[in-house]
Amino acid sequence: MTESSSDNLSNLLHETRTFPPSGEFAAQANVTEADFAQAEQDRLGFWDTQARRLKWRTPWTETLEWAPPFAKWFVGGTLNVAENCLDRHVEAGLGDRVAINWVGEPEDDTRTITYAQLLDEVKRAANALTSLGVQAGDRVAIYLPMLPETVVAMLACARLGAAHSVIFGGFSAQAIHDRVTDADARVVITSDGGYRRGAPSGLKVNVDEAIAKGGTAIEHVVVVKRTNQDVEWDDTRDVWWHDIVGGASNEHQAQAFDAEQPLYILYTSGTTGKPKGILHTSGGYLTQVSYTHWAAFDLKAETDVYWCAADVGWVTGHSYIVYGPLSNASTIVMYEGTPDTPHRGRWWEIVQEYGVTILYAAPTAIRTFMKWGEDIPNGYDLSSLRVLGSVGEPINPEAWIWYRRVIGADRTPVVDTWWQTETGAIMISPMPGVAAAKPGSALRTIPGISAEVVDNDGTPVGNGEGGLLVLTEPWPAMLRGIWGDPDRYQETYWSRFQEQGYYFAGDGAKKDEDGDLWLLGRVDDVMNISGHRISTTEVESALVSHPLVAEAAVVGASDPTTGQGIVAFVILRGENVEGADTVAALRNHVAKEIGPIAKPRQIMIVQELPKTRSGKIMRRLLRDVAENREMGDVTTLTDDSVMNLIAAKMPTAASED
C-alpha cells in the first residue's frame, strides 16, 4: 500500500448483536478470565505452563531465545511429537478410546480406529520408512486423499524425526514437482487414486508425471491402494503400502528430538513466484496447537466427538485434524468426501450418526449450506453439537447468525478463529466460556499472544478505526522460516515494520468501539473509493445480510471518477431470480448498511464463484473480469469453467446510477 498513514481502512459496517455464553457453559469452561490475566502478567511463564501439558524427555533450560526475526522455543528440551499424540495416551490406559472415526465418500465405507490400533500402525509405518532409508532430518512428501493412512504417514515421519511435506491431493504434477524438488524429498507416499463426487480420480499418475520431469531426489514411491484402479508400476521404485507397512514389525521405540527439530514443511503459493515452504518445528508448535485446540473449542476429551472439516493438505488439517486433537487424546471424525456427495445432507447425516459435539468449518461451506436452504439440516438431529468453529477467512455476520441458529439451535457458542499457515495455530479467537460473541468478530487474541492494528507507520490505531494487523511478540507455533530461503523469510514477513520488530500478517483489521478485532481479509483486497479505503469483506457482509443473497464476492475495478469502483458478484438464494429490481435493491441495501460511498457500481448475478479446492474465492480472477483483462491462471480452481460463464455475462451486466 502506498497511501499515507492517515488513510486507514474505513470502519463503516457496524454490528451490535452480542451472544454471551450461558451460565451453564461458562461454569464448566476450560478457559476463564484468570487465564488472560496470568498470560498478561507473565507471557513466557504462561507458555511454560502450557508446554507442561506435553510429555518431555528432557526439560528445557530457556523458554524463548529471540534473535529477531528468528525464534527458538523451549531451548534444550527434547520430546517426540508422535509419542505425545499416541504412546502416552495408550500408556495412560486410553488404548481402547476411538482416535479416528473415518467416513469414506462411498456411504458404506467407514473405519473406526482406536488409539492402540493407530499406535500399532504408526509403528509399522515408521519401521517401513526406515527400511526405505528414511532417517531423522530427511523429508518425506505425502500426496494422499483424506485417509487414515495420511494421518499414519504424518505421525510415522514425526516419530522418526523426518519432516513431512503434505501436498494437497488436488494439486497437479507440476505443483508436486515444484514441492518435492524444493524440499529435496527422497520418498513420496501416494495412492492409486481417490474419490471425488462419486468418481475415482488418479493420484499416482500425477506423481509419476512429476518425477518424469526430472530433477527430483525421489528414490521410492509408496502407494496406498484406495480405488483399485490400474496404475503404471516401476518395480525398482514403487512399493505398495499394504506390502511394506503390513509386513513391518509393530515394535518401535520413539526417539526424543530437540524442540526445534523440523516437523513439517507446508507450501503456500502466491499469485507469482515459486511456492514458499513454511517450516514448523516440534516443541513450540505442538504446545500451541495442543493448548488452542483444548482452549478455543472447550474440549472435553472424554466425551467430545470433534470434527474439523478441512483437508489434511492444508495447515488447518495439520493443526486441528492431526496434531492438536491427537495430542489431547480426542476422538475425531475424518471425512473423505464433499458436502454434497451423495446428497446435500451428508454433513448433517455424519453429525447425527457419530454424535459430533464440536464442528470446525469454513465460512465458504457455511454460505453454501445457506444457499441450499435450512430445510436440509433441519431434517437431522444436530442436538449433540455444543461448540461451532469457523476458519479460513472472515465470516460475515449473517453466515455467523445462520450457523448458530440453524446448525447450533441458537444455543451453541461460535468461535471465529484467525490464524495462518505461517502462525501454525490459532492466534485470535473468542474463548467460548468467556466471551460475549459478536457475529463476524474474532474478538481478541488468545492468552499469551500479542497483536495490534496499526497504520502505515506502525502506530496503533484507536477504537473505531482500521489498519494493518501485526503480531508484536514471538509465539510458540510461529514459522521458523521459509525452507532454504532465510532472506525471503525476512523480506516477506518482517521488512514492513522492521524498525518496530512486528510480524506483518498481510491482513487488514479494524477495532470496533469496544476495541474488539474484526478481520478484513488480505490487504490486497482493500479498495480505494473516492479516498476511502474500504474492505471487500465489509461490502460482502452487507450484501449477504440481504435475504435474497446466499453468497457474494466483491472487487475493486478502475474507475475514472472515484479511482476504483465496487463490482459485486452475487449468488442468490433458492429460486430467486435476477433482474434490474433485484440489482437496485441490493445496491440500495449496501448503501443503507454501510453508506452511499460503498454502493456497488455494478452487480452481477452469477450461479457460482471461482473457488480453489480449499474453498477460497479467487478475487484476483474476478478483478481480471471486472477490468476486462486477460484472465490469469485458473488451474487451482475446483471448476475452471465458472470463469468462462462469468466472463460471458460481463458485457450485459448494467450498472445503476
Give pLDDT tens digits for 451-477: 999 999 999 999 999 999 999 999 999
Residue 105 covered by a domain = no
Average pLDDT, whole number, for the chain?
Answer: 91
Q: Which pLDDT value is given to residue 275?
A: 81
- Which residues does residue 111 pair with via DSSP β-bridges, in sequence order? 102
- Which residues does residue 220 pair with via DSSP β-bridges, in sequence order? 187
Q: How far apart are CA 135 and CA 21, in angstroms?
A: 48
Strands 466-471 and 451-454: antiparallel
Q: How far apart are CA 437 and CA 16, in angstroms?
A: 11
Which of the four pLDDT bands, split at 50, 70 and 90, describes residue 12? Answer: low
Per the rule left: phi > 0, alpha: psi between -120 and 50, beta: everything else, 198 is left
Q: Tell me: pLDDT of 560 over 80.
A: no
Q: How far apart are CA 548 and CA 575, in angstroms?
A: 9
User: Per residue in 373-386, pLDDT tens?
Assistant: 999 999 999 999 99
Q: At which residue does the C-alpha cell 475425531 appear? A: 332
* Most confident of the following: 3-7, 138-142, 200-204, 309-313: 138-142
Complete edge-to-edge strand list for the sheet that includes strand 481-482: 238-240, 220-224, 187-191, 139-143, 163-166, 262-268, 276-281, 481-482
Q: Tell me: pLDDT of 657 over 50.
A: no
Residue 590 covered by a domain = yes
Which CATH number belongs to the domain containing residue 607 in this structure? Answer: 3.30.300.30
Phi and psi at 533, nearest 5°, equal -90, 110
Percent of the chain whose pLDDT exceeds 70: 92
Residue 602 covered by a domain = yes
Of residues 505 and 508, the one with the higher pLDDT is 508
Q: Looking at residues 425-435, what average pLDDT do you find?
A: 96
| In contact, 262 and 281? CB cutoff 8 Å | yes
Q: Tell me: pLDDT of 406 over 90.
A: yes
Of residues 396 and 430, the one with the higher pLDDT is 430
Residues 6+ apart with CB under 8 A from 417: 296, 389, 390, 391, 426, 428, 429, 442
Helix (H, G, I), strand (E, B) or coil at 103: strand
- Which residues does residue 503 pair with via DSSP β-bridges, in sequence order? 471
Residue 221 covered by a domain = no
Q: Looking at residues 503-532, what average pLDDT do you find?
A: 84
| In contact, 199 and 154? CB cutoff 8 Å | no
Q: Looking at residues 184-205, what average pLDDT do you find?
A: 92
Q: Tell me: pLDDT of 6 over 50.
A: no
Q: At which residue does the C-alpha cell 479460513 appear? A: 392
Q: Looking at residues 398-421, what average pLDDT do you find?
A: 96
Q: How far apart are CA 285 and CA 298, in angstroms?
A: 19
Q: Looking at residues 5-34, what average pLDDT do you find?
A: 80
Which of 651, 641, 587 is CA-nearest to residue 609? Answer: 641
Which of the four pLDDT bands, split at 50, 70 and 90, describes residue 523? Answer: confident
Concatenated DSSP letters of 19-74: BPPPHHHHHT-S--HHHHHHHHH-HHHHHHHHHTTS--SB--SEEEEEETTEEEEE
Instruction: Give the pTM.
Output: 0.86
Q: Which pLDDT value is given to residue 531?
A: 60
Q: Looking at residues 249-267, what average pLDDT do you find?
A: 97
Q: Which domain holds residue 604?
A: 518-652
Residue 198 covered by a domain = no
Q: Which pLDDT value is given to residue 269?
A: 64
Distances in Å between the Cα of 271 and the Cα atoms of 100, 102, 513, 549 are: 36, 34, 35, 29
Helix (H, G, I), strand (E, B) or coil at 294: helix
- Count up the domains in the chain and report the number: 1
DSSP conformational letter for 115: H
Q: How far apart are CA 618 and CA 500, in angstroms?
A: 32
- Which residues does residue 397 pair with via DSSP β-bridges, in sequence order? none
Of residues 536 and 3, the one with the higher pLDDT is 536
Which of the four pLDDT bands, split at 50, 70 and 90, describes residue 175? Answer: confident
Q: Tell me: pLDDT of 272 over 50.
A: no
Q: Looking at residues 50-74, what average pLDDT do you find?
A: 98
Q: Which pLDDT value is given to residue 655?
A: 42
Q: How far apart are CA 150 and CA 322, in angstroms?
A: 10
Residue 148 covered by a domain = no
Of the candidate ranges 168-182, 522-536, 608-622, the one whose mean pLDDT is the lowest: 522-536
Q: Which pLDDT value is given to residue 5?
A: 32
Q: Tell me: pLDDT of 635 over 60.
A: no
Of residues 581 and 278, the one with the higher pLDDT is 278
> In the chain, what is the straight-line distance between the N-terminal and C-terminal CA atoms, in Å?
30
Which of the four pLDDT bands, split at 50, 70 and 90, describes residue 10? Answer: low
Which of the four pLDDT bands, split at 50, 70 and 90, describes residue 542? Answer: confident
Cell of 263: 516437523
Q: How far apart are CA 41 and CA 218, in angstroms?
A: 50
Concatenated DSSP letters of 336-376: -S-TTSS-TTHHHHHHHHHT--EEEE-HHHHHHHHHH-THH
Q: Which pLDDT value is given to residue 533?
A: 65
Q: Tell me: pLDDT of 3 over 50.
A: no
Q: Tell me: pLDDT of 270 over 60.
A: no
Q: Which pLDDT value is given to residue 647?
A: 74
Q: How far does CA 489 lie from the centroid of its chain?
A: 21
Of residues 577 and 213, the one with the higher pLDDT is 213
Q: Looking at residues 138-154, what average pLDDT do you find?
A: 98
Residue 222 covered by a domain = no
Residue 598 covered by a domain = yes
